[in-house]
Structure 1
Amino acid sequence: MTDQPWIAVDAMGGDEGLEVMLAGVARARRRFEGLHFYLVGDEARIRAGLHSHPNLSANSEIVHAPEVVGSSEKPSQAIRRSKVTSMGIAIDLVKQGRAAAMVSSGNTGALMAMAKLSLRMLPGIDRPALAAPLPTLGDNDVVMLDLGANTEVDARNLVQFAVMGAAYARVILDLDRPRVALLNIGSEDQKGTDWIREAAAELRAATHLPLDFTGFVEGDKLARGHVDVIVCDGFAGNIALKTAEGTARFVGDLLKRAFTSSVRSKLGFLISRPATQLLRDHLDPNNHNGAVFLGLKGIVMKSHGGANELGVATAIANAAKMARADLTRRIAEDLGLEHVA
């Protein structure tokens, strides 16, 4: 894969609108000089928005899309309009091989359905899994999957998720042999459902895989940094993700309330401001933004709908890193599959 990949950006998707999407692309462009972009959406609006970002003009191409996928639109409706929407056209650029990856802040369900139908799954992979990095107390983030793509899974799915998550961690976290664990209600071997225990047995036996399976991990250990990849079904994963995000906001609000409760606490805030800023940056979801659908014949990155300029740039940077490392090929090789371009 080229070191100067083209990234297709659904410029119209997301809660914050075109202005934030373009600002995020421009920020990513300043950070990584080699990137090129297809900006997909309303051509007139994008062209007008580019006046504020002259650094993008020479390294981007506008691809007109007359329509946008709505935030509450059903996947079946979005699929029928895929040829005229910014999301659908951006996915098709990956299918054509013109773009090495695509990024969208739009409707998650529609994005997964259209990407799966257009790009197809890697041979032997049953379902895509939504994976993203989460902050920890360790030196690296932890990759967690599935975060909502599959509410019901079996042992085979979990093993595939583990292999795909490990390949993703090797690229994003620069690890040779990621430590992988299954999310469970206890760390003992007899805990959990039949399919979780069966998946654990298969992973323990698969010594040829480029990962170290460490067993089970409980929910209160997600952010300890003891493992690099946490695998679960999409139902539990999405609840865990939303709980972690809510807890981070809760801690931030508590600190804000505590530091504004009295003159003495305000003085304490001034003294501890460097430490609180470090905490805020570490917990800021925009520094960890971007969830990728693993298992597809192409890289599709979902940016949070409410991501700011920094968050959009983070998602684009991760998509570019995966494209440069040819993540799809790595996953195929790890699963013993014949790579499909």
Structure 2
Amino acid sequence: MTTPRIAIDAMGGDEGVRVMIEGAAEARRRHDQFQFLLVGDETRIQAALAEHPNLRGTSEILHCDDVVGGDEIPTQALRRAKTTSMGLAVNAVKQGNAGAAVSAGNTGALMAMSKLALRTMPGIDRPALAAVMPTLEDDDVIMLDLGANTEADARNLVQFAIMGAAYSRIILGRKPRVRLLNIGTEEIKGFDRLRDAAAELQEATGLDMDFDGYVESDKINRGEVDVVVTDGFSGNIALKAIEGTARFVTDLLRAAFTSSIRSKVGFLVSRPATELLKHHLDPNNHNGAVFLGLNGVVVKSHGSATAGGVAHAVTVAAKLLEANLTDRITADLNALQSRAQGAPTE
């Protein structure tokens, strides 16, 4: 299958054009079928392309010198959706000029522009931001929502579960274990909306997921669950806590290994293990949050991502396109709707 080209917001992120183009070039070295629409200042993009000849014949440049600021209010950025590199990259998906868009820019602005241009899928009330995180096991865990919706009712949570499960099946290739994030695993714990969502998912048939109640935050990265579902407020707090703890442990180890000569010798002896830990915790190896529930694929790269991180985000976008993510979500929504109406599911 030929991968549709991917629109790259070349101006987004902390370092902008250089890293975004370098990331696209790295992605194409890994997958030589990738093609790109590079959106941004043409002069700067051309200069960056001089270092990456593998992109020249497979990329088109869409000139734009207006950029969404990192601290810009989404409603303000939305007014310039037709003139900014971010807005034009998303609009390319809407118009069919690209299969997916990747940006490392302002998350709130990207969500606002994506939702306005692409709209939510039939059967989905709100899109959700989903990201992949490492676990102690071989497989990663998907968590959503991570900030697109500060509040979510039972209906939203059920839809998030369906979208997250479809995403997880693409990554894992099997039926995922889905849980709702809660303050305990007992059925009586949590808000009414959590208990209502759990009841509906528990009773649902025809959904390609294994749902069995709740998971607590200390189990997110243990490898015991494949999809963790929550509202954007709780999800964002949990994500930041996990990221902060990972940095804390890394900094603590660095300080311990440099505290004395004996510690430095110990570091040299244990270096293979610490390098493995560093690789496992490196956010660039899991970069690329996805806006699920839209009529199109939009991937958010971390603003501080390296070229390798951008390449990973590009690969995520391509994988979701090739696996027809929206069709998978639609099929599960139809199965849920059929059950609700009392019709037999296939």
The two structures have a TM-score, normalised by structure 1, of 0.97
> Is the 8 Å Cα contact of residues 5 and 34 (structure 1) preserved in structure 2?
no
Correspondence 1:298 to 2:296: yes
> How much is the aligned-residue C-alpha RMSD, in angstroms?
0.9
254, 274, 277: which one aligns with 1:276: 274
1:173 deviates by 2.6
Matches within 5 A, 1:240-319: 240-319=238-317
Counterpart-to-counterpart distance in 2, 1:44 and 1:254: 44
> Is the 8 Å Cα contact of residues 185 and 192 (structure 1) preserved in structure 2?
yes
Gaps (5+ residues) in structure 2? 336-346
1:264 deviates by 1.1
Alignment correspondent of 1:238: 236
Counterpart-to-counterpart distance in 2, 1:131 and 1:16: 24
SS in 1 for 2:142: strand
Alignment correspondent of 1:156: 155
1:172 deviates by 2.1
Counterpart-to-counterpart distance in 1, 2:71 and 2:263: 44
Alignment correspondent of 2:207: 209
Q: Deviations over 1:242-266 (max 9, x none)?
A: 1111111101001101111111111
Alignment correspondent of 2:75: 76
1:3 deviates by 2.9
Matches within 5 A, 1:1-341: 2-174=1-173, 176-336=174-334
1:99 deviates by 0.9
Counterpart-to-counterpart distance in 1, 2:238 and 2:8: 28
User: How many pairs are equivalent?
Assistant: 335
SS in 2 for 1:336: helix
1:97 deviates by 1.3
1:188 deviates by 0.4
Q: Deviations over 1:249-295 (max 9, x none)?
A: 10100110111111111111111101000000000000001100000
Counterpart-to-counterpart distance in 1, 2:247 and 2:17: 26
Q: Deviations over 1:79-133 (max 9, x none)?
A: 2111111001100110011211100000111100111010011012110000010
Gaps (5+ residues) in structure 1? none
Counterpart-to-counterpart distance in 2, 1:327 and 1:38: 21
1:207 deviates by 2.2
> Is the 8 Å Cα contact of residues 3 and 321 (structure 2) preserved in structure 1?
no
Higher mean alpha-carbon deviation, 2-11 vs 97-106, is at 2-11
Counterpart-to-counterpart distance in 1, 2:254 and 2:36: 39
1:4 deviates by 2.3
Q: Deviations over 1:178-237 (max 9, x none)?
A: 000000000000000000000000000002111000210001101100010000000000
1:145 deviates by 0.2
Counterpart-to-counterpart distance in 2, 1:207 and 1:4: 33
> Is the 8 Å Cα contact of residues 8 and 102 (structure 1) preserved in structure 2?
yes
Identity among equivalent pairs (%): 66
The two structures have a TM-score, normalised by structure 2, of 0.95
